[in-house]
Structure 1
Amino acid sequence: MTLLGRLLRNRRAGDTHLAWNLPNLQGPDQLTLTSRDFDDGGPLPLAQCAKHIGGADRSPQLAWTALPPATAQLLVVVEDVDVPLGKPAVHCVALADPSGGPLETGALTAKEPGPGVRVLRSTIGRGYHGPAPVKGHGPHHYVFQLFALSAPVPDSPSPERARPRTLLPVITGPVLARGRLTGVFER
């Protein structure tokens, strides 16, 4: 696998197609997103990585500054901008109740999501899927994005069934505030 990683070293999705850059998810960057598990731009702990590389596949704890009072729902999107594909790989999409407070470690797990959390479909499956980049490909940046929505995502068509690249562009706003946090992992 190290050879494959080296061969693909210069191929990366980039951040052009991040949820952050979708026209319908634009809004003021007023939220500061933090985690007690890692610092912005710092390494993601192995516990937050995929099980098949020795991790626990547990989503990190996420906290944010005060939400706008009119926030109806939170949208959480985690994307790998360094995957050797045309677009970032979506590692998690979830909706959360804004009154629920911070998301504790493991709250984005499909089998047992945290209180007020609805895990949706990602590129890989439902719920949080931790990093497991190809060996030798270099550092991968995982962008955790939080959007404070003024209206809940409609239940029809079912957000749980929709693919991320189909669901994200049709979420209507406006987005009241947003924030992001980046973790790095390399094999």
Structure 2
Amino acid sequence: MHPVEALLLPVGWLLRNRRPDEAASIANTPELATGNRIALTSPAFGDGQVVPAKHCGQFIGDDISPALMWSALPEGTKGLVFVLEDLDSPGAVPGIHTIATFAPIEGGLPEGALTPDDPRFQFLPNRRRQAKYLGPRPLPGHGTHHYRFHLYALDTDIDFTKVAGMQAVPSALAGHVLASGTLTGTRTT
């Protein structure tokens, strides 16, 4: 265990029972609701399984995005939005690690593709003002966290420079979601 993690361990124990209601997940936002589904999978882990360390954040891994695969996108898809959300962060709402938008890509993304160095991806800064893939990183001692990987197919291309922040994403996507898919991984420290 890294010394910083050891310092945070008592905080994790103290907040162990503090978790947001899953109803507050971005997946349950009315503006993003759709009955159309995209099958989202990863060769790195199955739905409900542990996210491998290399795809995790600081003190666990190297923040390397996992390979993601998805089923056929709906006709008329002009943009995709990827979201990585921590359903168990010790706050009032689930924590958003990553939000990125990009042009439609059939089939999926290879491992490590989600980087700010790749001009195909436009990242929206998270609450810590980081605009990149930030992998799972639960608070030490807090218990198992569930990380939901989301993919939204849109009928338009979204420009994140015109979106005020993460809280404005649902309204920016309202009326444009053609289909969505999720994949959930876990991580415990």
Q: For 2:94 and 2:138, locate their aligned partners in 1 and report how far apart those are by CA, in whole Å.
A: 12
2:123 matched to 1:116?
no
Alpha-carbon offset, residue 167 of structure 1: 2.7
Q: Specify the alignment match of 2:88 in structure 1.
A: 82
> Cα deviations across residues 46-80 of structure 1 (Å, max 9, x unaligned)?
101113x1411111111100111111111111100
Q: For 1:15 and 1:185, locate their aligned partners in 2 and report how far apart those are by CA, in whole Å.
A: 17
Kindly provide the amino acid, as one letter, of the partner of residue 139 in structure 1: T
Alpha-carbon offset, residue 119 of structure 1: 2.0
Kindly provide the amino acid, as one letter, of the partner of residue 94 in structure 2: P
Contact residue 107 and residue 117 of structure 1 kept, 8 A: no
Contact residue 50 and residue 129 of structure 1 kept, 8 A: yes
Q: For 1:72 and 1:142, locate their aligned partners in 2 and report how far apart those are by CA, in whole Å.
A: 26
1:107 to 110, 113, 116: 113
Normalised TM-score (structure 2): 0.88
2:47 to 40, 52, 72: 40
Q: Specify the alignment match of 1:62 in structure 2.
A: 68
Kindly provide the amino acid, as one letter, of the partner of residue 174 in structure 2: T
**Pairs aligned (count):** 181
Q: Specify the alignment match of 1:158 in structure 2.
A: 162
**Runs of 5+ in structure 1 lacking a partner?**
none
2:12 matched to 1:5?
yes
The 3-state SS of whatever aligns with 2:148 is strand
Contact residue 27 and residue 174 of structure 1 kept, 8 A: no
The 3-state SS of whatever aligns with 1:167 is helix
Kindly provide the amino acid, as one letter, of the partner of residue 19 in structure 2: R
Q: Specify the alignment match of 1:92 in structure 2.
A: 98
Alpha-carbon offset, residue 158 of structure 1: 2.4
Q: For 1:67 and 1:163, locate their aligned partners in 2 and report how far apart those are by CA, in whole Å.
A: 26
Could you list the runs of 4 or more consecutive aligned residues of structure 1 that deviate by over 4 angstroms after TM superposition?
none
Normalised TM-score (structure 1): 0.89
Q: For 1:30 and 1:134, locate their aligned partners in 2 and report how far apart those are by CA, in whole Å.
A: 32
Q: For 2:9 and 2:86, locate their aligned partners in 1 and report how far apart those are by CA, in whole Å.
A: 19
1:131 to 136, 155, 168: 136
The 3-state SS of whatever aligns with 2:77 is coil
Alpha-carbon offset, residue 168 of structure 1: 2.9
RMSD: 1.7
The 3-state SS of whatever aligns with 1:98 is coil
